[in-house]
Structure 1
Amino acid sequence: MDRGDPTSLHEQVTTEIRRAITEGEAKPGERLPPARDLAAVLGVNPNTVLKALRELRDEGLVTFGRGRGVTVAGGRRGGRRSWPRLGSWCASLGATATGQRSWPG
């Protein structure tokens, strides 16, 4: 995330997750990492990620499910996790989770 960018952090997170979905890094039916894990990798507060995820839900790109977490919309329920690809996506942003929970592999 670019803290020097006048765009708010949650808008930057929204844009990056939206891009990952539209470019196929996260496919329909796949679960996204928990907000706290995304936040750790991106170096932002979990509430920032949650706000971004709510916007994406309102756009119809993701769905929230009790006990299922956040899933990319348009696919079957309970799809496999997209963590490895999204971990690569986060790494491509130059983000690391040093000292935080690591991505499942």
Structure 2
Amino acid sequence: MLVRIDPASEVPIFAQLAASVRADAAAGRIRPGDRLPAAREVAASLGINVHTVLHAYQELRDEGLLELRRGRGAVATETAAALTELQRDIHDLTRRARALGLAPDTLAALVKEIADDRP
């Protein structure tokens, strides 16, 4: 797992870390059952506080992407595979939108509207 953070970004570091893990899962680089590096290891390699890493891991746990197991650390759930499949669907959708001449902002607005519409 390669994590890049931008300390100068307005996005909190824990959010950048969580986004990086999500992106790795969506790309298939993290699969169900994979163990993520220990929070202390990630913190040391990035030069950040261990609580920042734990915050990111807890957010991913709350989303269902990770299980946090005492003694085993953070383990990817089946949701990682679902993200990979969803990313393929998104690629197909963006290809179709491009073929129709739809602007990316318009597509994003449509997706957001549908995502926000709760049955």
TM-score, with normalisation over the residues of structure 2?
0.59
Amino acid at match of 1:10: F
Amino acid at match of 1:13: L
Q: Unaligned stretches of 5+ in structure 1?
A: 76-105
Mapped pair 1:2 → 2:3: no
| 1:99 matched residue in structure 2 | none
| 1:18 matched residue in structure 2 | 22
| 2:106 matched residue in structure 1 | none
Aligned counterpart in structure 2 of residue 29 of structure 1, from 23, 30, 33: 33
Q: CA deviation at 1:4?
A: 1.2
Percent identity, aligned pairs only, is: 41
Q: Which runs of 4+ in 1 moved over 6 A?
A: none
TM-score, with normalisation over the residues of structure 1?
0.66
Q: Which structure has the larger Rg?
A: 2
Higher relative helix content: 2
Q: Unaligned stretches of 5+ in structure 2?
A: 80-119
Alignment map for 1:62-81 (pairs within 5 Å): 62-74=66-78
What SS does the corresponding residue of 1:71 show, helix, strand or coil?
A: strand
Amino acid at match of 1:50: L
Say how many residue pairs are matched.
Answer: 75
What SS does the corresponding residue of 2:35 show, helix, strand or coil?
A: coil
